[in-house]
């Protein structure tokens, strides 16, 4: 049976994307197009670096998202194991008052655990976003330095 193309499978969109090949193609197509005082090679090199930085930021974001999803899976698995143990423990409670006390303690622990895991996941998300932003921010600074450098040089 043939595999149907899933238009919502974003992992396939960039599987064949090669920023270096894109820049080579653009360079070949723009090679004969000359503007006095302007270097297409510099422009293409800058855009290649921009694409590489964007690719790196996307990879960092994807890795972070995968780590968060894995942690969520671990949290869910642990919660299910703990819930099973709690149900088993509550089923052997001696009297209603003891059962109510155990339920209150379990609810308190569950709330504290939920807050702890939400904080952990929020910190993971913040770290992922910060790493991706830093990759793009660094490239922006480099790009501005390149722009200042190229603006100061007269072209022949």
Instruction: Please give the backbone phi and psi of residue 14, each rounded to the nearest 5 degrees, phi first.
Output: -110, 15
pLDDT band, very low/low/confident/very high, at 25 (cuts 50, 70, 90): confident
What is the pLDDT of the chain when averaged over all its residues?
A: 83
100: pLDDT strictly greater than 70: yes
147: pLDDT strictly greater than 90: no
Query: Distance between CA 115 and CA 107 in Å, rounded?
Result: 12
The pLDDT score that the predictor gives to residue 131 is 94
| DSSP tag of 35 | B
Query: pTM value?
Result: 0.63
15: pLDDT strictly greater than 70: no
> Where along the chain do its domains lie?
42-151
Please list the residues that pair with 38 across neighbouring strands.
35
- Compute CA distances 121 → 48, 52, 70, whole Å: 34, 28, 11
Give ∠ CA 49-50-51 in degrees, rounded to 5.
90
């Amino acid at each position: 049976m043939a595999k149907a193309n899933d238009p919502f499978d974003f992992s396939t969109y960039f599987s064949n994307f090669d920023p270096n090949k894109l820049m080579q193609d653009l360079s070949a197509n723009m090679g004969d197009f000359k503007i006095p005082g302007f270097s297409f090679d510099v422009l293409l090199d800058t855009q290649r670096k921009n694409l590489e930085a964007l690719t790196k930021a996307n990879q960092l974001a994807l890795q972070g998202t995968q780590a968060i999803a894995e942690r969520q899976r671990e949290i869910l698995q642990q919660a299910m194991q703990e819930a099973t143990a709690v149900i088993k423990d509550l089923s052997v409670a001696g009297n209603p008052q003891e059962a109510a006390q155990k339920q209150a303690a379990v609810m308190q622990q569950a709330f504290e655990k939920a807050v702890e895991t939400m904080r952990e996941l929020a910190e993971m998300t913040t770290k992922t976003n910060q790493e991706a932003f830093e990759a793009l921010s660094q490239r922006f600074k480099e790009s501005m330095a390149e722009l200042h450098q190229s603006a100061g040089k007269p072209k022949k």
